[in-house]
Amino acid sequence: MENNAILITAASLGFIHTVLGPDHYVPFIALAKARSWTRARTATVTFLCGLGHVGSSVLIGLGGIALGTSVLKLQWLEGLRGDAAGWLLLSFGLAYMLWGIKKAIKGEKHSHFHSHDGDSPHSHEHPHETEHAHVHGNTASVTPWALFIIFIFGPCEPLIPVLMYPAMKNGLGQALAAAAVFSAVTITTMMVTVFLLLRGVSLFPVERMERYAHALAGFAIFTCGIAVKAGL
């Protein structure tokens, strides 16, 4: 019974701490909409960031158990990581928002090469307007990595003090089981929440705001960073 209670607690905390932390899903929703990510890309980025998020805390917890480190010291370390993650999220959101504002104001133009019905190829320029908005350059590939690094720094606060150390009373196997359940529920909740909210957002007519999609995405991430720093 005690073992089952630990696993149920692990699952409950994994769900609650994810749903109550908008930084677990808002950045993915914002960037998926702004960058027109496919469902597969959105799922992959969310999953990998979630894996980095829980995996880093699991490794720290297991290292602390192996070294006999006190819970208070591990909580202090997790606090430092959380502070760093908050600053990184805030800085990334601010930088992305300013970049998005710049693109929206400039209405940048770029060229495409086309050939029509056997004619020789030619090029034309067009601005980033609503009907033809998409991202060019290296920012598309850098963004998921930036998120991944931020989520590696982001701690799972309940995992170490509430799950792993009590589970150690019943052996390392129980501690690993609790960590696995917590991790699986956290990642699953992140992905389900992202896709449910993306579905909800798609019901609203946002085409006129598409030119400002990157600026709005940056603002959403910046706001999440402020919330993390404020401890909300």
Tell me the C-alpha distance between 70 and 76, whole Å: 10
Read off the pLDDT band of 4 (50, 70, 90): confident
Asked if 161 contacts 146 with a C-beta cutoff of 8 angstroms, the reply is no
Reported as a pLDDT band with limits 50, 70 and 90, residue 163 is: confident
**% of the chain beyond a pLDDT of 90:** 37
SS3 content of the chain, % helix, strand, coil (to 5): 75, 5, 20
pLDDT digits 0-9 by tens, 13-32: 999 999 998 999 999 999 99
The helix/strand/coil state of 38 is coil
Tell me what pLDDT residue 110 has: 41
Distance separating alpha carbons of residues 82 and 156, to the nearest angstrom: 9
Vertex 69: Cα angle to 68 and 74 (nearest 5): 145
Which pLDDT score, from 0 to 100, does residue 75 have?
79
Instruction: For residue range 55-81, list pLDDT tens digits in order.
Output: 998 888 888 887 877 777 887 888 888
Find the mean pLDDT for residues 36-45.
94
Contacts 24+ apart (CB under 8 A), 163-167: 163/6, 163/9, 163/10, 163/13, 164/61, 164/62, 164/65, 165/65, 165/71, 166/6, 167/6
* pLDDT for the residue numbered 231: 67
- In degrees, rounded to 5, the angle at the alpha carbon of residue 41 between the alpha carbons of residues 26 and 100 is 55
Nearest CA-CA partner of 182 in 58, 71, 42 = 58
Please tell me whether residue 206 adopts helix, strand or coil conformation. coil
* Predicted pLDDT of residue 187: 97
Question: Domain residue spans in the chain?
Answer: 2-107+128-202+209-230
Q: Which residue has the higher pLDDT, 151 or 208?
A: 151
Q: Estimate to the nearest angstrom the gap between the alpha carbon of 155 and the chain centroid.
A: 13
Q: What is the pLDDT of residue 128?
A: 47
What integer best gives the mean pLDDT of the chain?
Answer: 81
Cα–Cα distance between 163 and 176 in angstroms, integer? 10
The predicted-structure confidence for 182-192, as pLDDT tens digits, reads as follows 999 999 999 99
Average pLDDT for 161-185:
84
Q: Dig out the tokens for 201 from the structure.
A: 């957002």
Please state, in angstroms and rounded to a whole number, the distance separating the CA atoms of residues 157 and 152.
13
pLDDT of residue 108: 52
Cα–Cα distance between 33 and 125 in angstroms, integer? 24
Q: Are strands 109-114 and 122-127 parallel, antiparallel or unpaired?
A: antiparallel
What is d(CA 138, CA 40) in angstroms, rounded to the nearest whole number? 20
Element (DSSP H or E) covering residue 112: strand 109-114
Q: Tell me the per-residue pLDDT of 105-158, one tens digit each, with 9 for 90 and over.
A: 886 544 344 444 455 444 444 444 444 444 444 455 678 888 999 999 888 878
